[in-house]
Structure 1
């Protein structure tokens, strides 16, 4: 074996050892997080709320997802749906929901006059024309919640120092292998990374699963307009709120994200969009995040060293630590147990996505091809269809 191969193997093993320490820290961070279980509404802080639900196309489980936000154990709720054009395939689902829940305060805004490459943000800006309440809840269309959701996520705003509330989310696969692998990426990659960052004070995330803020706060940061060309609009919004001195609160409530990718191409496009988004907004942090994949790194070391005892030992330690973390996550968040054999497959796929994310700036989002700039800004491309 030549010297260059030895160096690569040593780097892989060194990264794996650091990654094993990360896995141990992640077990502690997950165990320290207390998930809020179902409970009756009891918070004294329950101001009227408007939920903003931008939609773009039909997707598996869309009706059930949207309905879960409309059936809340909460005093006063307005739900506003928004689409960019009258032919959007999500609109028949929205209208069916409005027929099925005639007593709910539901409305829909259809307007195509949006500025900027981020059409979701443009959609949100258009929806503000019918908003009636001062507390806003923004949530992506692929999220599903329980009836106690609003009570949990709105109550922290009773503290005037809190400017924004956000939520973790876990992946719930709809059906099939690719959806299951996508959910594993969320549950065993994203979730522990966020909780470790939170534990050490290195990550103040804001996630599209849920963003809760007062209208006054939104007005102070300039409304939605400053984020109209941001790929990571949720992250940028959170940064803007914190920059004005307010605190962003991570709720103990965990939202379900319905993962519905039915083929490898869809899964790869989705995960590359995530990866290139993070790389654009925090390039150094993203490069360092490879250490969160010690199972994949050590498996590569095993292959390159032709199964050396040292590499195999590191791989086995990483595998055991990874499985412990997976089981702790499953117990903490009430997830179905995954087969142990799929864990290294998922980590190898994550390593592939990590490597490919450096090979371009194109992302595909809701069938639109876009490019990311070095600062996370979006540039319009074309439809991928």
Structure 2
């Protein structure tokens, strides 16, 4: 073998071993930091010391859990907040559901915005824009329709809103539900997602997912408000980036975001993961290399080849031990994030974990080969940097406001 080829092989082997070691550092840090950071006991704060929060709830359609999810926002134990429901289509069945909850909890300050603005290509921001403009409080919480709140969740988030903090977000997780798709979701969000999320918060890297995010409205208004981010599909990433670029801190709260969508299917979940991968690649092209190597099987295969090249170790045994240790670390981390008994047994975890690890690299490859993003009935194309263009723009809808 030519010296240049040998040199190149050794360079790749050293690179793969370095990535392998880095991933194990991530495992250890996530487990330690997760144990320290998550599910903290709330300190007692005087009610008059808690500042008001405007909660933006963008809605579209009705699923079997929507009513109970929305009701959890009406029953929070927090002294001052307003609920701003945003529904783009005037024929959406969610309108009647929201009106019913507003009548049932008439003492809660709630408003319903029907219709949307056209301030960019992002449907979520178009839906929320008028409600954002009408928000009466310094702090706003953007919360997706599938999120379920505990009575003290909002207080938990506000506890981390210090004088140097601009944004407090919840680490994505899921409520306990039955069935293999629910098991698969809980495993993903409690292992692969939470591992990166926890370490990113520890070392202060932007890893913001905007399904439940509390932020300072005045800081958004300084740069033009929420509409400034209407040109992006991943508005959550760029909102957080706008804060960190100005020297502000973003943090996670101690309670994870409890996703509780009534529609739980393997295909829809995988489509969601594929869409996120497309967004990451468009925003940060280095993910084309980094993300596949963060997967258990790809990482283990490359490391097994590398140790065989460098140390002449038996690669199959190394790979199997690697997978076993990764599996055990994921079980430990999932148990920490769950903070209680898991709703499935160990066999279900093995099946779900193997399915997730085997499908992860395939979904990423699919994202690279099919860069167009489908969001419900709409299709978008992303340029490098994350700026989006809708391939078939939707006509601007009108707005109706009701209290």
> TM-score interval w.r.t. the shorter chain?
0.7 to 0.9
Matched ranges for 1:265-280 at <5 A: 265-280=267-282
CA positional deviation for 1:179: 3.7
> Is 1:347 the counterpart of 2:357 in the alignment?
yes
Does the Cα contact within 8 Å between 1:163 and 1:248 map onto a contact in 2? yes
Residues 141-175 of structure 1 show CA distances to partners (whole Å, capped at 9, x for unaligned) of 11112111111112333x32222222212133644
Matched ranges for 1:87-102 at <5 A: 87-102=91-106
**1:295 counterpart residue number:** 297
For the structure 1 residues 211 and 72, does the alpha-carbon distance in structure 2 shift closer, same or farther, using more than 3 Å as the test?
same
* Aligned equivalent of 1:182, options 182, 185, 188: 185
* Aligned equivalent of 1:46, options 45, 50, 59: 50
Matched ranges for 1:185-196 at <5 A: 185-196=188-199
**1:315 counterpart residue number:** 319
CA positional deviation for 1:189: 1.2
Q: Secondary structure at the match of 1:341?
A: helix
Residues 280-320 of structure 1 show CA distances to partners (whole Å, capped at 9, x for unaligned) of 11110352122221235546999xxxxxx934213322222
* Aligned-CA RMSD value: 3.0
Matched ranges for 1:1-385 at <5 A: 15=16, 18-19=19-20, 21-33=22-34, 34-37=37-40, 39=42, 42=45, 45-157=49-161, 159-172=162-175, 174-201=177-204, 203-258=205-260, 262-296=264-298, 298=300, 310-334=314-338, 336=342, 338-382=348-392
Q: Secondary structure at the match of 1:109?
A: strand
The count of corresponding residues between Structure 1 and Structure 2 is 371
For the structure 1 residues 118 and 236, does the alpha-carbon distance in structure 2 shift closer, same or farther, using more than 3 Å as the test?
same
Q: In 2, Cα distance between the equivalents of 1:79 and 1:350?
A: 37
Does the Cα contact within 8 Å between 1:361 and 1:371 map onto a contact in 2? yes
Residues 178-230 of structure 1 show CA distances to partners (whole Å, capped at 9, x for unaligned) of 343233222211110122233344x2222213221222112112101111121
Q: Secondary structure at the match of 2:200?
A: helix
After alignment, is 75-84 or 264-273 more displaced?
Answer: 264-273
Q: In 1, Cα distance between the equivalents of 2:82 and 2:171?
A: 23
Q: Which runs of 5+ in 1 are unaligned?
A: 303-308
Q: Secondary structure at the match of 2:160?
A: helix
Does the Cα contact within 8 Å between 1:19 and 1:294 map onto a contact in 2? no
Q: Secondary structure at the match of 2:350?
A: coil
Q: In 2, Cα distance between the equivalents of 1:93 and 1:381?
A: 32
After alignment, is 334-343 or 244-253 more displaced?
Answer: 334-343
Does the Cα contact within 8 Å between 2:64 and 2:263 map onto a contact in 1? no
Residues 350-375 of structure 1 show CA distances to partners (whole Å, capped at 9, x for unaligned) of 11111111112211223322222211
CA positional deviation for 1:139: 1.2
For the structure 1 residues 129 and 368, does the alpha-carbon distance in structure 2 shift closer, same or farther, using more than 3 Å as the test?
same
TM-score (norm 2): 0.82
Q: In 2, Cα distance between the equivalents of 1:199 and 1:133?
A: 29
After alignment, is 183-192 or 336-345 more displaced?
Answer: 336-345
Does the Cα contact within 8 Å between 1:13 and 1:301 map onto a contact in 2? no
After alignment, is 96-105 or 20-29 more displaced?
Answer: 20-29
Q: In 2, Cα distance between the equivalents of 1:264 and 1:169?
A: 18
Q: Which runs of 5+ in 2 are unaligned?
A: 305-312, 394-403
Residues 89-120 of structure 1 show CA distances to partners (whole Å, capped at 9, x for unaligned) of 32232122213222211111012332321111
TM-score (norm 1): 0.86
